[in-house]
Amino acid sequence: MTKPYVFITRKLPDTAIASLTKYAEVKMWPYEDVPVEREFLLSEAKKADAMITMLSDRVDREVMQAGTSLKVVANLAVGFDNIDIASATENGIAVCNTPDVLTDTTADLTFALLLAAARRVVEAAEFVKAGEWKSWSPLLLAGTDVHHKTIGIVGMGKIGQAVAKRAAGFDMNILYHNRSRNEQAEKELGAIYCTFAELLQKSDFVVCLTPLTSETRHLFNRSAFQMMKQSAIFVNAARGAVVDEEALYEALVNGDIAGAGLDVFTREPIDASHPLLKLKNVVALPHIGSASVETRLKMMELCCENVIAVLNGDTPKTLVNKEWMLKKRNV
C-alpha cells in the first residue's frame, strides 16, 4: 500500500518528525532560513496528501485548489491568518494550528520585551559593548519601573492570561480589553475589564495580544496612540498588522508615548532601513515569541500528530475550521 505524501515547507529536525516519517513519505523544503518558493509550493501542493506550513507561507485559494489530494494543512503557529480558511473548508481540507503548547513561552517573551523596553536593556547592553561606559552617573540610562504600575492587555486569551499572571508577580494593576469578559482572569488575577479607550488612557504598559482580523487591523492607529500616556510603553507580540506602523513611529518621535517593544511587524522580515529600527526607544525582535527549543519541538510534534490523525480519518487535536467536521460527516 502506498504511503501518504507529506510536504513540509521548511527543513525541520528529523527527530521532531520521526513519528510522521514512519507513517508517510515526507519531503521537506531543504532550507531552514529561506522561505519556500511560490511555484515550488504550488507544485508540491498538487502531489501532497498533507502539508505542514509556516506562518510566513501564503496558503491561499490557489494552493487549496491545486491540492486535489490535499486533506490537511497543519500550520506551525497558533495564528493562521496566512491561510484561507474558507477556501480550505470549501475544498474539504482540515486546517490545524499549535495553540496551548506555546502559551507560557510566548508569555515569557512578551514580559521580557516589556521589561527590556522599560529598563532600556538593549540600549544599555549596546552602550557597554560600544565602549561608551566611561563613568557612573545618577541617571545613566535610567528607565522606568515596572512593579506596581498598570498593565493594559488587549486580547485576554490564554497568552494574555499568562502575561497577566506574570504581571501579578510584579504587583501590577491589571486592566484588559477583550471581545468578551474573561471571568477566570478577573477572579484569579484581579484583572479589571474596561473599554479599549479606558485601557489606553489608564495603562503605563499597553500589551497587544489580540488576533489579526478585519476588525483588529490597524486597531492601534494615530488616535489610539494619542490616547495613551506620554510615559506609556507599547508592546506588540501579536501580529504586525494590528498596528499602523507609521502612526507608531510618529507617536514615538513626537513623544506621544515613551517607547515600544515589538516582536512582530507588518512585513516580515522587516527591512533594516525601516524607520522604527532607527529609534533608540524601540526594542525590536525577529518574531521569536514561541522560540524556545522545547516549545518549537512540541509545536512540530503537534503538527505531525494532527496530520497523522486526519490521514487516518480521525479528528485532529487542534482543528481550526470546525465546519470541516460537518462537511466530512455529510460526505
Domain containing residue 231: CATH number? 3.40.50.720
What average pLDDT score do residues 269-296 get?
A: 97
Q: Are 155 and 164 in contact (CB under 8 A)?
A: no
Residue 331 has pLDDT above 60, yes or no: no
Are 274 and 314 part of one and the same domain? no
Are 68 and 96 part of one and the same domain? yes
Q: Are 223 and 243 in contact (CB under 8 A)?
A: no
Q: pTM, whole model, 2 decimals?
A: 0.92
What average pLDDT score do residues 270-281 get?
A: 97
Are 160 and 183 part of one and the same domain? yes
Q: Are 55 and 79 in contact (CB under 8 A)?
A: yes
pLDDT in tens, 33-71: 999 999 999 999 999 999 999 999 999 999 999 999 999
Are 154 and 221 part of one and the same domain? yes
Cα 208 to Cα 242: distance, rounded to the nearest angstrom: 8
The confidence band for 14, taking pLDDT boundaries of 50, 70 and 90, is very high
The SS3 assignment for 7 reads strand
CA dist 166 → 106, 156, 160, 295, 313 (Å): 12, 13, 10, 19, 40
Residue 82 has pLDDT above 80, yes or no: yes
Degrees, nearest 5: CA angle 169-175-147: 35
The confidence band for 265, taking pLDDT boundaries of 50, 70 and 90, is very high
177 as an active site residue: the answer is: no
Given the C-alpha cell 489530494, which residue does it identify?
Answer: 69
What average pLDDT score do residues 300-315 get?
A: 97
Q: How many domains does the chain have?
A: 2
Residue 98 has pLDDT above 90, yes or no: yes
Are 130 and 66 part of one and the same domain? no
Are 123 and 271 part of one and the same domain? yes
Residue 304 has pLDDT above 70, yes or no: yes
Cα 142 to Cα 124: distance, rounded to the nearest angstrom: 9
Are 83 and 128 part of one and the same domain? no
Are 127 and 272 part of one and the same domain? yes
Given the residues 245, 287, 296, 301, select the one marked as catalytic.
287
* Dihedral pair phi/psi, residue 93, rounded to 5°: -110, 125
The confidence band for 1, taking pLDDT boundaries of 50, 70 and 90, is low
Residue 325 has pLDDT above 90, yes or no: no
Q: How many CB atoms lie within 10 A of CB 146?
A: 20
Cα 234 to Cα 248: distance, rounded to the nearest angstrom: 9
pLDDT in tens, 238-251: 999 999 999 999 99
Cα 218 to Cα 241: distance, rounded to the nearest angstrom: 6
The confidence band for 191, taking pLDDT boundaries of 50, 70 and 90, is very high
CA-based nearest residue to 154, from 216, 68, 78, 221: 216
147 as an active site residue: the answer is: no
239 as an active site residue: the answer is: yes
Can you give the pLDDT at residue 326? 76
Given the residues 32, 37, 183, 268, select the one marked as catalytic.
268
> What is the span of the domain harbouring residue 80?
5-101+293-330
Are 193 and 257 part of one and the same domain? yes
Are 275 and 150 part of one and the same domain? yes
Query: Which one of 249, 267, 284 terminates a domain?
Result: 284
> Percent of the chain scored above 70 by pLDDT?
98
Sequence-distant (≥ 6) Cβ neighbours of residue 6 within 8 angstroms: 20, 24, 25, 26, 27, 48, 49, 50, 51, 52, 307
Are 126 and 245 part of one and the same domain? yes
Given the residues 120, 166, 177, 239, select the one marked as catalytic.
239
Are 84 and 22 part of one and the same domain? yes
What is residue 270's DSSP assignment?
P
